[in-house]
Structure formats: structure tokens, C-alpha cells
A and B are shown apart, each in its own frame.
Chain A
Amino acid sequence: GEDVEQSLFLSVREGDSSVINCTYTDSSSTYLYWYKQEPGAGLQLLTYIFSNMDMKQDQRLTVLLNKKDKHLSLRIADTQTGDSAIYFCAELRGNNRLAFGKGNQVVVIP
């Protein structure tokens, strides 16, 4: 996970948009994922994007992928208090192993 970079903390007001960024390292990664972890729980798959895509939208979630810069972002529209959690990006590397970022804690302020 130490090769996948993420910023650490984001606070956002309820109703605003949140953007979380991630830089990955392996240009041959086929899939890139966003996971959500609530306190004391496992990881919940939020969305994923295949490496030949630039953008994917899934309801309030928009994933942007810049392969040239190896940059991945997750935008959460109309952020809700239930979105408060830690968000991890992950890349599926050639050895079929997931490499995680350090995580980004999102705190939604009512």
C-alpha cells in the first residue's frame, strides 16, 4: 500500500461535493477501485474503473482516471453524513494482488 499515495483528511459540509485523490504506481494495473471503510468494519466496494476508461459515473459517485499521470479521483456529489468514513483507493496489479492507498478520512459536517 505504501506505493499508492492518498491525501489523509478531508472535511466537507453536508450537501457539498467531496473529491478524493489518489496516485497509483503500476501503469499495467487493470482495475482501480474505491473502497469505503466505516469505523470497526471491513471494506465496502464503492466503485471500480477499468484501466481503458477515463470516467465512470455511478449515481452520486464519479471516478476520473488519468492514466498518463496515474491519477485517480473520486467525486461524491451531495455528500451526506453517512458518507463519513475512510476511503481507500486500490489498484489491481499484474500479480492479481490489490495494493491500497493509505486512506483518506472524510468527515461530513452537518
Chain B
Amino acid sequence: GAVVSQHPSWVICKSGTSVKIECRSLDFQATTMFWYRQFPKQSLMLMATSNEGSKATYEQGVEKDKFLINHASLTLSTLTVTSAHPEDSSFYICSARKGEPYGYTFGSGTRLTVV
């Protein structure tokens, strides 16, 4: 199979602090991982493409200094929300692609609440 593990499942943090979310491919190597954001009752919005060993590619309108992405190994990408504010509260989901026919496998998501 193709399993992606995301941690933590949920986190509550104070405004102004930073939060790190991890995304791991458990049974395959992923040179590319993707980070999405999902608002309630809405679809997934691609934030950035995480590339192993190089800089992430951010979608238009996504602040790269606020959402720091590190893809230091073939099985781990991290998303750090820096200086979090209540408007950053959302559901963040990562995904990786093992290759056909598996398509894109998604993590279980992280619910971030900034208070």
C-alpha cells in the first residue's frame, strides 16, 4: 500500500506561537509532498509543493515566511505555521504520491486552532 502519516491530529496554540506539523510516508519514498488547507465545508486548497532537498514551491497568495516547509528526507516533510493567528485556524492535510496506480495518498489531517 501507500501510507502517509500526519502528526499531530489536532493542536491548540496561543496566538503568536509557532506550530510544526509532520507528514511522513511510511512505506515508500516521496520526493514530492503536498500541503493543503481546508476550510469548513470547502474543498482542499493547495498551499505548496514540498520538494526533497530543495525549496518548496508555494501557490500564489500563500505566504512562504508564515508557512515554512522543510523536506529534509525522502520520507518526511514538515509544515511550520509561524507566529500563528486565529485566522490560521484550519484543517491542514498533506499528501504524497507513491506512483501509479496508487495515486495521491493523504494524511489524516491536522486540526489547528489558534486562540
| Residues of chain A at the chain B interface (Cβ within 8 Å) | 1-2, 31, 33, 35, 40-45, 48, 88, 90, 92, 96-98, 100-103
Contacts and interface: CB of A to CB of B under 8 A. Distances in A.
Contacts of B42: 102-103
Contacts, number: 52
Nearest to B100: A31
Contacts of A98: 34, 46, 95, 104
7 pairs of A and B residues whose beta carbons are closest in the complex? A1-B43, A43-B106, A42-B106, A42-B108, A42-B109, A100-B43, A102-B43
B105 interface: yes
Interface string B71-111: 00000000000000000000001010100111111111101
B46 A97 contact: yes
A40 B108 CA distance: 8
Q: How large is the interface on B (under 10, 10 to 19, 20 to 34, 35 or more residues)?
A: 20 to 34
A1 B44 contact: yes
B6 to A, nearest CB: 7
A48 B104 CA distance: 10
Contact of B103 (A33, A40, A101): A33
A102 B106 CA distance: 17
